[in-house]
Structure 1
Amino acid sequence: MLKNIIFDFGNVIMNYSPDEILNHYELSPADHDLLRKSIFESKEWSEIDAGKISEKEATEIFMDRVPDRLKGKVKQVMATWPENVDFYEPVFNYMEKLRQDGYKIYGLSNTGMQFANFVKNSEMGNYFDGYVFSAQEKLMKPDRRIYEKLIARYMLKPEESLFIDDLKANTDAAKKLGMQAFTFKIDKLGELQDYVASH
């Protein structure tokens, strides 16, 4: 019987789209493309998630990468991008229902600590009973050790836990540890609800 529901963040509880994030800033099309490539498509962006560098260190690298006129924009984007993410209200409504039904809710995400702390310290943090973040652990899904951290920290039984992620490689890794798993897109919310109801 299911007791624990574990949510990834990007494209599960929110729409992770660098273009849509950058649309919140006044940028010409060329500058928009340059910042997307210089920041969100850089190797440093992945290194933030992996806990190899901090957002502060990455910001300095990104600022060195752009013309002087865009340095301030880079700083602004890096300081404020989490608040410009489109969160999925229907998913949070469902999480609220799950909590009312007695399920424990956890977060397991490949993310830097800036975004992790933004979620934790906002009212969204009230939906979760615990978290494991890649930057903090210096481990990235689908490495089995990051799932094992979650299981051990919150004393979860894998067979009583459902892991929801948008990437099949990550849900496959959860299954190998004996967890139930669901590969998610926002248009599959109804399917997810049916799955939970039947398990």
Structure 2
Amino acid sequence: MIRNIVFDMGNVLMRWNPDSFLREFFSDEEDCRAVGARLFGGAEWPALDAGAMEEDEAIARVLRDLPERLWPGTARLFREWHLHFPPIPGVNALARELKGRGYRVYLLSNAGTRFTAYREAIPCRDCFDGEVVSAFVRQVKPDPAIYETLLTRYGLSAAECFFIDDMPANIAAAKDAGMAGFVYGGDVDALRRALREAGVEI
């Protein structure tokens, strides 16, 4: 029986769209491509998610590889991207509904320590019975260790957990850990159907 619903954050609870972030800070498409490839596509971003690098070191490395004229905008983007990180209303409403029906609700996300700056922007944050954020445990999905951290930290049975993530590899790892799961692609009705098929009363 499913008792625990575990949500990813990016593209599940909040809209992760680097192209949109970039256009808030740069008007030229070539600049957007150059900065996006280096900032979001470089080794530093995953290292931040893994808690393996400090923010100051990460941005310094990124700036060294970009033209000096792009430094101010890139530094602002790095510090402020989360101000343009909108919620996905339907999934947040679903989390509240599940909480109201007696299910426990958890967050399991790959994110850097900047998470503390935007956690309050997640509409359903007050529903969380617990959260595991990669940078603070130095483990990242789909590493099996981060799923085990969630289970042991909160005393959960994997067989009673349903995990929602937008990345197939992360759902595959959750299933390997014994959880049920669903790859969310933007269709809240499909997510509701998957939950019902798993026995969740929603």
State the TM bucket, normalised to the shorter chain: over 0.9
- 3-state SS, counterpart of residue 96 of structure 2: helix
Correspondence for 2:112: 112
- The 3 A distance-change label for structure 1 pair 40 and 10 is same
Aligned equivalents of 2:66 and 2:51: distance in 1?
24
Correspondence for 2:95: 95
Alpha-carbon RMSD? 1.5
- The 3 A distance-change label for structure 1 pair 123 and 140 is closer
Shift of 1:37: 1.3
Shift of 1:117: 1.4
What does residue range 177-196 of structure 1 map to in structure 2 within 5 Å?
Answer: 177-187=177-187, 189-196=188-195
Query: In the TM superposition, what whole-angstrom CA distance separates every residue of 1:26-70 from its partner, at most 9, and x where no partner exists?
Result: 431121111101201111111111111122221111222222222
Q: Normalized per residue, which structure has more helix?
A: 1
Unaligned runs of 5+ in 2: none
What does residue range 1-199 of structure 1 map to in structure 2 within 5 Å?
Answer: 1-114=1-114, 116-122=115-121, 124=123, 125-187=125-187, 189-198=188-197, 199=199
Q: Does structure 2 conserve the Cα–Cα contact (< 8 Å) formed by 1:139 and 1:146?
A: yes
What is the one-letter code of the residue matched to 2:14? M
- The 3 A distance-change label for structure 1 pair 100 and 119 is farther
Aligned equivalents of 1:90 and 1:121: distance in 2?
18
Unaligned runs of 5+ in 1: none
Aligned equivalents of 2:130 and 2:182: distance in 1?
19
Aligned equivalents of 1:50 and 1:127: distance in 2?
25
Query: In the TM superposition, what whole-angstrom CA distance separates every residue of 1:55-92 from its partner, at most 9, and x where no partner exists?
Result: 22211112222222221111110111011123211111
**TM-score between both structures, scaled by the size of structure 2:** 0.91
Q: Does structure 2 conserve the Cα–Cα contact (< 8 Å) formed by 1:2 and 1:196?
A: no
- 3-state SS, counterpart of residue 178 of structure 2: coil
* Identity across matched positions, percent: 34
Q: Give structure 1 regions of 4+ aligned residues with deviation exceeding 6 angstroms.
A: none
**TM-score between both structures, scaled by the size of structure 1:** 0.92
* Aligned residues between the structures: 197
